[in-house]
Structure 1
Amino acid sequence: MVKNIEKRGELVIQSAPQTIDDLMDWISGFSDAEGPGTTRLLYSPSWIKAQHALKEKFEELGMMVEFDAVGNLFATVAGTEQPNEVIATGSHVDTVARGGRLDGQLGIMAGYLAVKELLEKEGKPKKSLQIISMAEEEGSRFPYAFWGSKNIFGIADPKDVEDISDAQGIRFTDAMRAAGFDFLEGTPKFDRIAAFLELHIEQGNFLENTGKKVGVVNAIVGQKRYTVILKGEANHAGTTLMEYRKDTVECMAWIITQSIDKAKAEGSPLVLTFGRVEPKPNTVNVVPGETLFSIDCRHTDAQTLDRFTLEIEEDMRAIAAKMGIQIEIDKWMDEAPVPMDARIIETIESVCKDSGLSYQVMHSGAGHDSQIFAPRVPTGMIFVPSVGGISHNPAEHTEAEDIQQGVQALAETLKRLAY
């Protein structure tokens, strides 16, 4: 049962926790693998079933529902005065393998709850309201991310996916066409979005640690990712004296220690991660002659991110040269920070204040579809807490009462923008 009440002129949603839990259980049930978790990869059988089930659910609200060329799903209520001005909300329908029950799909179902309440309480909007279930964001099946949102704006290059395959050797193009979709041709069909809102779990523990229930996101961090290869000399672990070694793991250890120390000294919101390590020959009695490792560095300020990563690049080269180690540094991701729209941030914050919601303005340390939208249309994000900061995991959880506050913030913001 879902109730509406008025409070200081604001729309207040009181969704019974069971309603939210039932919706999330329902959408999570579309999975290509037995539990734990949900596995719903781009163009898979469960992905197709989920998108068509969502289509039916949106149509039950009286919305006009269509797919675009690549499989993004759009459900729209036409505005009574400015139908070409579209206020949209939503997120991505794909999951990681054995993912949780909230990431991505919560944004779709929150949009459903918010629009349902607005239609029942306020009637039709002046501007068009739209829920988007985006085809893909995670890059879990194929080595390509943001396929859904990039196609909404016509910025996805077909050449980038024509020759890629999944782990089973199925080509991207074959999977797409088998699901009934194909490449976008010409101008995107849905190009009238005037504003976009995305509700998402935080995927971290900041809100939980601060006791806040709603995050008003002001920016998505920029990211730089590297693959670094150190080349020294493999040799016998027993007979090669320490002073004669060209040990690439030792070199990596010095790089990691110095870089992490610098990151801690720099302070938040900068984060630095060494997440992948592959020493060769990776055996107990051989000095490793080659080591590959990854670096992930993020910050909300582009200049700080550029300065810091340039410093650690120079440090790595200096350490390697001192130890007689060859070094190759491949910076394969260089994404700038993406600010959210100032007016929408202000609107969400005003909604939270007027509705008495427990909120905090914050940045996002993870990437989201909103980073594709934000440079092109006014965009805002709303976070709800992640219990224990856990995400991309079957243990992913947010209390229904916290989701309720997030949906309330979303619904009232949509009301102010569309009504």
Structure 2
Amino acid sequence: MTFDTSITGSTASEIEHLITWLASFGGSGEGGVTRFLYSKPWLEAQHALKEKMTDWGMEAYFDDSGNLFGRIAGTKNMSGAILTGSHIDTVTNGGRFDGAYGILASLIAVKQLRDAYGAPKTSIEVVSMCEEEGSRFPLTFWGSGNLTGLFDCGKAPAVYDRDGVSIEGAMKRCGFGKGRYRKPFRHDAKCFIELHIEQGGILEASGRQIGIVTDIVGQRRYTIILKGESNHAGTTPMNMRKDAVAMMSLCISCLMKKAKAADPFLTATVGQLEAKPNVPNVIPGEAVFSLDLRHHNETVLDQFSEDLFADFAKLSEESGVQISVQQTTDVKPVKMDPELTRLSKQSAENINVSYREMISGAGHDAQIFGRHCPTSLLFVPSRNGVSHSPEEWTKPEDLISGIKVLSNLLYTLAYE
């Protein structure tokens, strides 16, 4: 039995209809979607997907954290399952494609394979993971983290949303976390395949239809706190000041200069700034800024951060403004499975879909699975690189290309 390219006959209207349908759960009225973990729109969307899975002939079930699965049982290799899918949650007023496309594309691909070839040799499960974004609670990857052992929904961390609701309380209000469903941890995952929009402009600019990710960057986040002296803006000479904001500007200028001269794949971002007392006629005595560093090689991150903070220390000594650095996040880089990368390229070549290898600068559930089982991450282009926005959009023909490559890859893994 060989793969018949004619079975990947999804139409643009089919995938567009499904994306519009899923976006109706939490639709913002501005073309975007707000679907937070354990919210009413989230719960409605998960149950609607469960019904869709059942209607399409899958065994649909939840785990106790709220991850949803649609299973097509295998006929021979009974000891494990191929997982494919993405996350159901969104950022505030986010796009319709982020996460959702990966779930819906997986559903279409698995349905087409089952309709054309019957049951696979190895079980395939489409997963709609309960959370990835960290939009409601101050943690990310709750869904994939429960599946891979990073988290345990039976011992939920003490984190709260802006209304003071704990993640445990919100989970239980939705009926999860009570032992009613099977435990989330998956010791039987043979591999995980995630299809996602790129959320950047590199793939679109290249003119290629598919991005095959080789590495997902590590992420380090820091809070930089500068303490000087507050004083009168009109009576304190410039050479006698310990201005925390002036020092912050020197640090940021140093940072950006070093980052531009460093490895071309390294990114450095200052996204949050705060000054105290934050009034026009007082020299700020304290300033705080965030720093986000990313690269796919941990050695590069180590060296860059070490050199940078040594420069910060010199600036502090020269100015008299104290600097402290607090690390808040340390996510390790993850390499995608080389054999799955090879098979992904082969799948694209089999159906004449153009592709390029890529490094993902954004975190994805594949980053969590990549430490747990063989994992592959595939991208389709994002128009103008826009994501996390109602303007998020991907051409229908690119959406179809993604489904075709995914179908071919799943056929290779589950049917051959």
> TM class by shorter-chain length?
over 0.9
**Could you give the per-residue CA deviations for residues 153-174 of structure 1, whole angstroms, max 9, x where no partner exists?**
2330559844322112222222
SS in 2 for 1:15: coil
Give aligned pairs, total: 414
**Corresponding position of 1:61:** 56
Aligned in 2, Cα 1:43/1:409: closer, same or farther, shift over 3 Å?
same
Paired letter, 2:56: L
Kindly indicate whether residue 392 of structure 2 is the aligned counterpart of residue 370 of structure 1: no
**Corresponding position of 1:172:** 167
Matches of residues 47-86 of structure 1 in structure 2 within 5 Å? 47-86=42-81
2:315 to 304, 319, 339: 319
Report deviation, 1:64: 0.6
Contact 1:79 1:126 in 2 (8 A): yes
**Could you give the per-residue CA deviations for residues 261-310 of structure 1, whole angstroms, max 9, x where no partner exists?**
11111132100001100011112222111000000000011111111111
Contact 1:234 1:289 in 2 (8 A): yes
Paired letter, 2:101: L
2:378 to 368, 379, 382: 382
Contact 2:25 2:45 in 1 (8 A): yes
**Could you give the per-residue CA deviations for residues 108-151 of structure 1, whole angstroms, max 9, x where no partner exists?**
00101111111122221110011000011111011111111111
SS in 2 for 1:305: helix
Matches of residues 185-196 of structure 1 in structure 2 within 5 Å? 188=184, 190-196=186-192
**Corresponding position of 1:126:** 121
SS in 2 for 1:69: coil
Aligned in 2, Cα 1:183/1:249: closer, same or farther, shift over 3 Å?
farther
Report deviation, 1:35: 3.4
Matches of residues 1-400 of structure 1 in structure 2 within 5 Å? 10=5, 13-31=8-26, 33-157=28-152, 161-182=156-177, 188=184, 190-400=186-396
Paired letter, 1:345: T
**TM-score, normalization by structure 1:** 0.95
Task: Work out the CA distance in 2 between the residues paired with 1:376 and 1:135.
Answer: 18
SS in 1 for 2:387: coil
Report deviation, 1:211: 1.1
Mind listing any 5+ residue stretches in structure 2 that lack a counterpart? none
Contact 2:73 2:122 in 1 (8 A): yes
Task: Work out the CA distance in 2 between the residues paired with 1:183 and 1:298.
Answer: 38
**Could you give the per-residue CA deviations for residues 345-399 of structure 1, whole angstroms, max 9, x where no partner exists?**
0000111122111111001000011111111110001001111111111111111
Contact 1:7 1:355 in 2 (8 A): no
Paired letter, 1:324: G
SS in 1 for 2:9: strand
Contact 2:7 2:116 in 1 (8 A): no
Report deviation, 1:205: 0.5
Report deviation, 1:188: 3.9
Task: Work out the CA distance in 1 between the residues paired with 2:355 and 2:27.
Answer: 36
Task: Work out the CA distance in 2 between the residues paired with 1:292 and 1:357.
Answer: 47
**TM-score, normalization by structure 2:** 0.95
Paired letter, 2:242: K
**Could you give the per-residue CA deviations for residues 291-343 of structure 1, whole angstroms, max 9, x where no partner exists?**
00000000011111111111111111111121101111001111110000000
Contact 2:65 2:153 in 1 (8 A): no
Paired letter, 1:101: R
Paired letter, 1:316: F
Task: Work out the CA distance in 2 between the residues paired with 1:305 and 1:407.
Answer: 35
Paired letter, 1:265: A
Paired letter, 1:52: H
2:409 to 389, 396, 413: 413
Task: Work out the CA distance in 2 between the residues paired with 1:186 and 1:233.
Answer: 57
Report deviation, 1:87: 1.1
Task: Work out the CA distance in 2 between the residues paired with 1:285 and 1:211.
Answer: 53
Alpha-carbon RMSD across the aligned residues, in angstroms, is: 1.9
Contact 1:232 1:248 in 2 (8 A): yes
Task: Work out the CA distance in 1 between the residues paired with 2:219 and 2:323.
Answer: 22
Aligned in 2, Cα 1:189/1:288: closer, same or farther, shift over 3 Å?
closer
Aligned in 2, Cα 1:7/1:76: closer, same or farther, shift over 3 Å?
closer
**Corresponding position of 1:3:** none
Paired letter, 1:156: F
Mind listing any 5+ residue stretches in structure 1 that lack a counterpart? 1-5
SS in 2 for 1:117: helix
Contact 2:148 2:185 in 1 (8 A): no
Paired letter, 2:393: H
Contact 1:76 1:131 in 2 (8 A): yes
Paired letter, 2:372: R
